[in-house]
Amino acid sequence: MPYLCFASNFLWVMILGLFGPSLPAIIRDLDISYARAGLFFTFFSLGSLFGTTLGGIATDYVNRKFLYTGVAVLLVCGLVCIGFAPSYLLILLIIFLLSLFGSPLGSIGQSIMLDMFPEKRESYLTIMTFFAASGSFLAPLLVSLNYTAHLSWRWPFMETACLIALLSIFIILTKIPTARAKSVRRKNFLEVLRNPKVLISSILIFFLMATDVGFPYWLAEYFKSELNVSIKLSSAVISIFLAGVISVRLLITPLLKIRKPKDILKTGLLLAMASLAVFLTISTVSVKVAAVFFFGFGIGPVFPLLMARGTAAFPDQPGTVTGVLFAFLSLGGIIFPLLLGILASRFGLAQIYLFHGVIVLGLFITESTLSRK
């Protein structure tokens, strides 16, 4: 069962990862501005705000197999529709609906996994986010391969739909247990949110999305327009960032045996700040690529450890807690890509990466303050 959950997160995040490297081609094909391109992820996150939240909560109450299978099938339909949608506005609408009905794929898998294996929360969440990063890593490579084959940016979405169709078959064939928690012990969304551990983790995840999502989202366009790198190579640069994230997430489980989660968080944020400083100050392309890798390596541990901290507050109700945390994740995804797109249109792509430095610094200061208590 955990492998089914890992695969769900892998494929959902892979879908998110297709948009960043596809942006240069989408912008050219649809003749749209950076601000309008930023709306893609905003609409994606707006649908996710409701989809992942309600989907996560629903796993504590309804038939999980029916919910899981239905979400996978709807996601396949949405991806196929993107492959054929002719206009910008229609694509925006499809993205919203796809995200609304398809985004619970990851949160449902996570909720089921945490309910079945609460004692392995940190290690399994780390593995799950490793697979998520792997999905993001594969996405730009898939886009780049399609460009190499002289295919449209639409093809990777169609190919991913085939993979999710295969996943839905495995979901149908897998025995999925009912929720462990009894209804009399369940707390509602607001009661869960008021818990200090959940609330602080939610707020930090919200701001983390500015960097976790915003940094790679504009990388392909940054390397293409600011550094004159070819479209195939600029699309592949995002995979360098994800290689850093994947590498560190492979190391988190053994690191947790010798270091506390709060120490790993602070060290990672320090490395991310140092790497971003190099990225901003040195113009050599090869150095910037190396800085992108180490920025991913530094920021990689933050999300799974924040998620583990939040879900630990209510181990018998993982679906509702996951819904709360994913709501703030989606809210950050709504606000920051659009904000960064507006800033890029006004000040240029190079300037928006200063914004990431402010966010990472704020996260480090907050985590340092919390660790003293």
The rounded distance, in Å, linking the Cα atoms of 221 and 134 is: 21
Show me where the domains of the chain are located: 2-175+189-371
Q: How far is CA 228 from CA 217, 223, 261, in A?
A: 18, 6, 40
pLDDT at residue 255 is higher than 90: no
Fold of 2-175+189-371: Growth Hormone; Chain: A; (1.20.1250)
pLDDT at residue 147 is higher than 80: yes
Among the listed residues 32, 261, 249, the one whose alpha carbon sits nearest the alpha carbon of residue 128: 249
pLDDT at residue 182 is higher than 60: no
Q: What is the pLDDT of residues 295-344, one digit of tens each?
A: 999 998 898 888 888 888 887 777 788 888 888 887 887 788 778 778 87
Q: Which helix (H) or strand (E) holds 280?
A: helix 261-281
Helix, strand, coil content of the chain in percent (nearest 5): 85, 0, 15
DSSP 18-43: HHHHHHHHHHHHHT--HHHHHHHHHH
pLDDT of residue 184: 45
How much of the chain exceeds pLDDT 70, in percent?
93
Q: What is the pLDDT of residues 97-131, one digit of tens each?
A: 988 888 788 778 787 777 777 667 777 777 777 78
DSSP 321-358: HHHHHHHHHHHHHHHHHHHHHHHHHHH-HHHHHHHHHH
pLDDT at residue 232 is higher than 70: no
Residues 6+ apart with CB under 8 A from 343: 351, 352, 355
